[in-house]
Amino acid sequence: MAEEQQYILGTDSTELERLGFQHRVWSQDAAALWSRANIQQGMKVLDLGAGPGFATFDLAEIVGETGSVTAIDISKSYVEYGNNQSKIRGFKNVNFLERQVHNLQLDYEEYDIIYCRWVLSWVEDVDSVIAESCRLLKPGGALLVQEYAQWGTFRIIPETPSIRTVIEACRESWRLMPSEIDIAPRLPEMFINGGLTIEHKGVLEKVSAPGQLVWQWPATFLHIYAEKLIEMGLLTEIKSTEFKNTWPILEANPSAMIVTPLMMEFIARKA
């Protein structure tokens, strides 16, 4: 299945649940960026790479019935899920479309806001995606982006060989991908080349202890992705088992910490 191959963790029910949890972890940061960009009722928003729509529906509540949110995603199953949720929840201002980010087929100068999170880190030819986003924005509209800046800052403390092995296998898998996971530092030049003015840039990073909400975000990812790493030949079954056996010991350590990968966020506005 094409979409399964393009989503590193697939699009099954387990991943749907994980994405919902991930959104809860980062929802306050997303809402703060939306507030800074002054998203208001009546605006037209494009949610680029929306997945099953957890951010989409939050945005729809902000713009209200007089506004609208168009959600774009490559996954047919997520698009179907999102449109079904729209009906169940009574959202008449939300529409999910199955499209590639490089082939949006949307009207130019149509949107007040375009938002994407963890999308550009996973696609090729980011310049063209930014350029197309610029054309889709209305004059005065803004592109809001939250992406990885340096995934290598990810730390789990205290360091243990078994857990470090899995993290390094993750990093190797990113290097093998045609996309650039640490895309954020390259984005300002792309914004400017597209005729946008950068009005906000900031960093996003969290530190968490066992038992806290943020802790579960990378913990869940690592356990699921470890199986993918085995399939890719980047992690052995033995090393995966060592990792899983070490994790409960780590979580029992009251001094343990997780430092999430460094991210950056931007608001770039069209004149």
Which domains can be identified in the chain, with CATH numbers?
2-270 (3.40.50.150)
Whether omega for the bond prior to residue 185 falls within 30 degrees of 0, making it cis, is no
Q: Are 54 and 26 in contact (CB under 8 A)?
A: no
Global confidence as pTM? 0.91
Beta bridge partners, 116, equal 145
* Average pLDDT over every residue of 57-80: 95
What is the per-residue pLDDT across 133-143, written as a single tens digit (0 to 9) for each? Answer: 999 999 999 99
Cβ atoms 130, 143 nearer than 8 A: yes
> Would you state the pLDDT for residue 25?
85
Average pLDDT over residues 196-203: 97
Q: Is 17 exposed, middle or buried (0-12, 13-18, 19+ CB in 10 A)?
A: exposed
pLDDT above 90 (res 1): no
Which long-range contacts link 230-235 to residues 24+ away (Cβ below 8 Å)? 232/173, 232/176, 234/169, 234/172, 234/173, 235/165, 235/166, 235/169
| pLDDT at residue 113 tops 50 | yes
User: Is the model more confident about 85 or about 14?
Assistant: 85
pLDDT, one tens digit per residue, over 143-196 is 999 999 999 999 999 999 999 999 999 999 999 999 999 999 999 999 999 999
At residue 5, the pLDDT reads 42
Pinpoint the alpha helices (H) of 68-160. Answer: 76-89, 126-136
* pLDDT at 12 (0 to 100): 63
What mean pLDDT is predicted for residues 40-66?
96
Only one residue has tokens 């809402």, namely 31
pLDDT at 236 over 70: yes
3-class SS shares of the chain: helix, strand, coil, % to 5: 50, 25, 30
Q: Which tokens go with 131? A: 């350029």
Distances (CA, A) of 177 to 124, 171, 236: 9, 10, 20
Per-residue pLDDT band at 22 (split at 50, 70, 90):
confident
Q: What is residue 19's predicted lDDT score, i.e. its pLDDT?
A: 76
Distance (Å, rounded) from C-alpha 165 to C-alpha 159? Answer: 10
Confidence of residue 6 (pLDDT cuts 50, 70, 90): low
* pLDDT value at 258 more than 50: yes
3-state secondary structure of 229: helix
Q: What is the distance, to the nearest Å, from the Cα of residue 142 to the centroid of all Cα atoms in its chain?
A: 18
pLDDT above 90 for 2: no
> CA-to-CA distance for 141 and 49, rounded, in angstroms?
19
Average pLDDT, the chain: 92
Q: Which of 100-104, 157-161, 234-238, 241-245 has the lowest mean pLDDT?
A: 100-104
Q: What is the pLDDT of residue 11?
A: 57
Task: Give the pLDDT band of residue 17 (cuts 50, 70, 90).
Answer: confident
The residues near 147 (Cβ < 8 Å, ≥ 6 apart) are 116, 117, 118, 119, 120, 121, 183, 184, 187, 263, 264, 265
